[in-house]
Amino acid sequence: MNPKTWVECKISKVVQETPDTVTIRVALPEHESIQFIPGQYVMFGFLNGEESSRSKAYSISSSPSNTKWIEITVKKEGPFSTRMTKLQVGDKVKIRGPIGHFVFKDDYKQDIMLIAGGTGIAPLRSMWQYIIERELPNNVKLLFSTKIPEDIIYKQELEELKKHNKNVQVTVTLTRVQDGWDGRKGRIDWGMINEHVTDFKNTLFFICGPDAMVNDLQKALRDNGAAIGQVKIEKWGIQ
């Protein structure tokens, strides 16, 4: 596949992650395969109907080890994404890609801190799956903020990560505090980052989420001495 050519694909799996978020698996046709770097995205389009005149960007949330399909995790927002959340196995769609510079590269030997707000966790999942599958030695810390327990995307996978991967540390923080939640509460801020970081100068930070969160945390990291290349961000233009 290449970023300039649309490829017609079929939906081969749909997972309801939360009441308003689904992960769809997009299977490539027999003769196609995709090579991408974790963190990249694709352009997605419909073949017919009102939304077929437009296309939108979606991060690849699966590992690049799978070259015959990709997964996309999408939250129901406007009409375009709402239609995506209604896709069913067998439906045909089109994608082109991969695109993007928000990437985890093999030659990064530093500690990795993945910082996500809401659906911003999607490209970071591709990164941690890749690091685990390749048995890369990076020490990985994930800080994931979302509103309420029902909004936790990849809940089962995060539980498994906590149990079985010594070099991946997962912290989920909820911003709308509820009774019965004994985990972390509050927004991700400099204090929370500083508490979890082991070796600041030797850490690469990957941040994806609402624009305000990405901007604030990038600034906080820079104000506290992070070099430009140490902080990698992806903004989706969402509030």
Ligand X SMILES: Cc1cc2nc3c(=O)[nH]c(=O)nc-3n(C[C@H](O)[C@H](O)[C@H](O)COP(=O)(O)OP(=O)(O)OC[C@H]3O[C@@H](n4cnc5c(N)ncnc54)[C@H](O)[C@@H]3O)c2cc1C
- For ligand X, the closer of residues 149 and 196 by Cβ is 149
- For ligand X, the closer of residues 69 and 80 by Cβ is 80
Cβ(12)–Cβ(69) under 8 Å? Answer: yes
- For ligand X, the closer of residues 75 and 232 by Cβ is 75
Longest dimension (CA), the chain: 52
Residue-by-residue DSSP string for 7-22:
EEEEEEEEEEEETTEE
Among 127, 129, 97, which residue's Cα sits nearest to residue 112?
Answer: 127
Measure the CA–CA gap between 221 and 193, rounded to whole angstroms.
Answer: 9
Give residue 196's region: left, alpha or beta (phi > 0; psi -120 to 50).
alpha
Which single residue is written with the structure tokens 């939108």? 56
- For ligand X, the closer of residues 56 and 155 by Cβ is 56
Measure the CA–CA gap between 178 and 71, rounded to whole angstroms.
Answer: 31
Q: x/- binding map, residues 59-78, to ligand X, per CB under 6 A?
A: x-------------xxx-xx
With CB under 6 A as the rule, give the number of residues binding ligand X: 20
Q: Kindly state whether residue 46 participates in binding ligand X, applying the rule CB under 6 A.
A: no
Give the nearest distance from C-beta 39 to ligand X in angstroms: 10
Choices 5-13, 53-61, 136-144, 152-160 (CB under 6 A): range interacting with ligand X: 53-61
Residue nearest to ligand X (CB): 78
Which single residue is written with the structure tokens 């941690």? 128
Give the nearest distance from C-beta 109 to ligand X in angstroms: 26
Q: Kindly state whether residue 58 participates in binding ligand X, applying the rule CB under 6 A.
A: yes
What is the binding site for ligand X (CB under 6 A)?
41, 56-59, 73-75, 77-81, 118-119, 122, 236-239
